[in-house]
Structure 1
Amino acid sequence: MLILLPPSETKISGGEGRLTLASLGFPGLASGRSAAISAVRELVAAGQDESTPAKQRAAQANASLESSPVMPAIERYTGVLYDGLSFGTLDDLGRTWVGDHVAIGSALFGLLRASDSIPDYKVSHGTRVPGTTFARIWKSVPPLTAAALADDSLVIDMRSKAYAAQLPVEGAVSFDVVDERGKALSHWNKHAKGAFVRMLAEARAEPGDIESLLRAARGAGADVSMRDGELLLLDRR
């Protein structure tokens, strides 16, 4: 099983070492990554908006993309979903489980293994770059399939619609969080996704198909079901 998480606009700075594209997982995405980094170089060369302190920090992060220190993606990204997962408070076996079963979408890198070391950067799927778009860049790479990403072909896609559309994974099962009326949640959606992944990590879940995932999740206390091909998590908050 592989779970695909969305990235976060907010990221922790720092780390050690430098970006090495050849060390990243999913090597079939190499051409897209090179093109995306070239697009960031063009963005930097064209001049970025530095009208506020936050935009100045973003411009600096992009300008130093290839020379700034790196850290594992699962530690780089912050925000509500990653608070719900709280990777740093898992035990060793839980962190190993996340490393084996979690990937993260990215406008810059396509998909990343949780353990892939990346620098701080400040672009998203909607960032405008000279002469192209990230959507166009990622459409140029060979299509991804669940069978290619996971040995058992079980891929659970928790990415936002924008990131799922940027780099579709054929055969992946989409995931959403709903209330008791079956309506998709907004405020608690991201936190619930992170907490669900943490629950599976703590349970050391190793499902080989969607039915065994449902059993493992329910056994760990989650209220999950399938509806029209989508995996739904009920959150009663």
Structure 2
Amino acid sequence: MKILFSPSETKSNTITSGPLSDESFIFPHLYEKRLDILNAYQSYIEKSPLLLLQKLFGYKDEEKTRLHATINLFTSFTCKAIERYTGVAYQYLDFKTLDAPSQSFLENNVMIFSNLFGPLLGKDFIPEYKLKQGESFNGLDIETFYKKNFTDAIDAWCGDELILDLRAGFYEKFYTLKQPYITMKFLKNGKNVSHFAKAYRGTVLRDIAYHRPSTEKEFQKIPFAGLKLKEILLFKYKQEYIFESID
């Protein structure tokens, strides 16, 4: 099973490995393409005034802005992407408390779509950084850049495996699936959940890590915590599994 996932605005300051290199990422043959974006970002934060950096980072706090402006992507130490992000979904995933086989599954089969680094495996190494969702620099269309240059590689990575797309809508801009896949929608009292959907994505990912399905039938048998399957809607490529909260 391959799983597409979102990053988070909040990040840990964990360091477990050395600075970035072409071995830090999946698709090493596309490392130079990533560098086009990373070099542009690094140059921008080194040369831009405080007000522009506050907008880029999404901070009002001047001290926090200055602190993040001192981070150098290329000399900072790194940790695995799945341990770097600390938002709601990652809190509910609680990666560090999973057993070793579950952690290994997530490290190798979850692709996180960073708005700076592009598509990352859970085990890819990245430094701490800050870039507010939807912001850009130097007039770059980052989502289109990664979609244009990485789509073929992601297609090959997905192969003919079962695919679950758990991304938030914004990150669908980085890659469009052109083969059958599953999505999940979460309801509470018959209504769509918004912010708490992040928590459901985290718990779902945790359950999947334990069960590690390879077919849709195996996926359907997973007793997702706090959720009950209500219906399945079929579209061209997408099967939308709609779950009702039973908490």
The answer to whether residue 83 in structure 2 is matched with residue 75 in structure 1 is yes
Letter aligned with residue 89 of structure 1:
T
**Residue of structure 1 in register with 2:58 after alignment:** none
1:56: Cα distance to partner?
1.9
Q: Distance in 2 between matches of 1:54 and 1:231?
A: 40
Pairwise mapping of residues 202-213 of structure 1 onto structure 2 (< 5 A)?
Answer: 202-203=210-211, 205-208=212-215, 210-213=216-219
**Residue of structure 1 in register with 2:11 after alignment:** 11
**Residue of structure 2 in register with 1:235 after alignment:** 245
Name which of structure 1's ranges 16-25 and 143-152 shifts more when overlaid on structure 2: 143-152
1:152: Cα distance to partner?
3.5
1:145: Cα distance to partner?
7.9
User: Secondary structure of the equivalent of 1:126?
Assistant: coil
Name which of structure 1's ranges 222-231 and 95-104 shifts more when overlaid on structure 2: 222-231
Q: Distance in 1 between matches of 2:151 and 2:108?
A: 22
The 1:154/1:29 distance shift into structure 2, 3 A limit, reads: farther
The answer to whether residue 36 in structure 2 is matched with residue 35 in structure 1 is yes
The 1:226/1:28 distance shift into structure 2, 3 A limit, reads: farther
Pairwise mapping of residues 106-117 of structure 1 onto structure 2 (< 5 A)?
Answer: 106-117=114-125
Conserved? CA contact 1:32–1:109, under 8 Å: no
TM-score of the pair, normalised by structure 2: 0.82
1:159: Cα distance to partner?
1.1
User: Secondary structure of the equivalent of 1:169?
Assistant: coil
The 1:190/1:97 distance shift into structure 2, 3 A limit, reads: same
Q: Distance in 2 between matches of 1:234 and 1:20?
A: 44
- Cα deviation code 1:10-68 (max 9, x no counterpart): 1111313111134311346535412211220232243153561222233223xx11110
Give ranges in structure 2 of 5+ residues lacking alignment.
Answer: 55-60
Q: Distance in 2 between matches of 1:189 and 1:178?
A: 9
Q: Distance in 1 between matches of 2:168 and 2:240?
A: 14
- Cα deviation code 1:127-148 (max 9, x no counterpart): 2201323123224315348752
Runs of 4+ residues over 3 Å off in structure 1: 26-32, 144-147, 218-222
What is the RMSD computed on CA atoms of the aligned residues?
2.5
Q: Distance in 2 between matches of 1:128 and 1:231?
A: 33
Letter aligned with residue 44 of structure 1:
I
Q: Distance in 2 between matches of 1:2 and 1:235?
A: 25
Match 1:175 to one of 174, 184, 192: 184
The 1:219/1:90 distance shift into structure 2, 3 A limit, reads: closer
Q: Distance in 2 between matches of 1:177 and 1:119?
A: 32
Match 1:141 to one of 134, 149, 160: 149
Q: Distance in 2 between matches of 1:132 and 1:11?
A: 23
Letter aligned with residue 18 of structure 1:
P
User: Secondary structure of the equivalent of 2:96?
Assistant: helix
Aligned-residue identity in percent: 28
Match 1:153 to one of 131, 146, 161: 161
Conserved? CA contact 1:143–1:169, under 8 Å: no
1:189: Cα distance to partner?
0.7
Letter aligned with residue 233 of structure 1:
F
Number of positions where the alignment pairs a residue of Structure 1 with one of Structure 2: 231
Pairwise mapping of residues 207-226 of structure 1 onto structure 2 (< 5 A)?
Answer: 207-208=214-215, 210-215=216-221, 217-218=222-223, 222-224=227-229, 225-226=231-232
Q: Distance in 2 between matches of 1:45 and 1:136?
A: 24
Name which of structure 1's ranges 152-161 and 78-87 shifts more when overlaid on structure 2: 152-161
Q: Distance in 2 between matches of 1:226 and 1:173?
A: 10
Name which of structure 1's ranges 71-80 and 38-47 shifts more when overlaid on structure 2: 38-47
